[in-house]
Amino acid sequence: MEFSASQIALIIKGTVEGNPNATVRSFSKIEEAVAGHLAFLANPKYEDFLYTTGASVIIINESLELKQPVTATLIRVPDAYSAFATLLQTYEQIMEQKMVGIQEPSFVSKNASLGENVFVGAFSYIGENVKLGKNVKVYPHCFLGNNVVVGDNCILHPGVKIYHDCIVGNKVIIHAGTVLGGDGFGFAPQPDGSYKKVPQIGNVIVEDEVEIGSNSCIDRATMGSTIIHKGAKLDNLIQIAHNVEIGNYTVIAAQTGVSGSTKVGNRVMIGGQVGIVGHITIADGSRINAQSGVSKSLKVPDSVVTGSPAFDYTSTLRSQAIFRSLPEMEKRIAELEQLIKQLMAEKASI
């Protein structure tokens, strides 16, 4: 598809500098772009490429002052990165609008309810009483169990599995291989040392505008619901255990695990490979650095923790500084001990 600079500016509410009729057919990084490509510049360290790139159109920040002439047509916006994201979303929506209908072979239950402009890819399974909203895209090899509800404008990428009774809100994106509603890890120890499975009869609720990365697992609740609240963003390879709640607009990086019944607040930022124990609370606005182990509740909003066990970030930095100095401190202590011995010996001889 081909777009002019003026059309792009209209979409992202920008101002054109140069030829408004300049056209682009594809997207590229600014350092690799050629004629007919659109690029953007948000990071100042890439500014030198602005003057050498072959791109036909470039989105830049309003505040950027040019150091030399530019051959490309520029579109100035308040935030180039956000504007470029908006443009890509618009492009993606245009492409996805072309995908409508049910591919064969696939199975769609007779009593399933499918909204307007739904797409179901080949080898997918849509169970009994499933409800799909408008413009839902179900890519191939997906499984939706009985009574699953999926809201409007959702995208389920290939191989997504949603077990029975789970509920997905509007504008949710779930990437390939993710499982919603698998059994929580519940086993009762028996006198003979074996374990008795505790049935997991709850569900998973994913609220509006959530995005979940590939190969993540969101376990169903033992009773009640495991809930991912509005606007949360989960990376790939994340484990969310039974009865966990993830707050509004919280972001979680890859390989993090949250144990059962923990409540994570709103706008929390969790780095990669973090482990969080069960039955605790994480206060709103908390930031947990990568590879931290959180073993108790974080009760102070907007606090920053690191390490395992995780504690205050500033205190940890001081401790690390002391730890690095330990060899020198050991040497000085040995010298002081030797000096004390000499002084004691001299005192005894008087």
The residues that are catalytic are 242
Residue 344 amino acid letter: M
Question: What angle (nearest 5°) sits at the alpha carbon of residue 14, between those of residues 3 and 38?
Answer: 40
Q: Are 41 and 60 in contact (CB under 8 A)?
A: yes
Which spans in the chain are helix H? 5-12, 80-96, 313-324, 326-349
What crossing angle do the helices spanning 313-324 and 326-349 adopt, rounded to 10°?
Answer: 60
**H or E segment and range at residue 269:** strand 269-270
Residue in 18, 4, 1, 2 with CA at minimum distance from that of residue 60: 18
For residue 160, give the 3-state DSSP assignment: coil
**Backbone CA torsion sign across 84, 90, 95, 100:** positive
Tokens representing 95?
A: 């492409």
- Whether residue 169 contacts residue 187, with contact meaning beta carbons closer than 8 Å, is answered with no
Those residues whose C-beta lies under 8 Å from the C-beta of residue 192, and which sit 6 or more positions away, are none
Q: Helix, strand, or coil here: 82?
A: helix
Instruction: Tell me the sheet residues that pair with 306.
Output: 311
- Strand-pairing partners, residue 239, are 217, 257
Report whether 59 contacts 80 (CB < 8 A).
yes
Would you state the torsion angle of the CA atoms of residues 115, 116, 117, 123, taken in this order, to the nearest 10 degrees? 30
Phi, psi for 85 (deg, rounded to 5): -60, -45
Q: CB within 8 A of 114, min separation 6: which ones?
A: 108, 120, 126, 132, 136
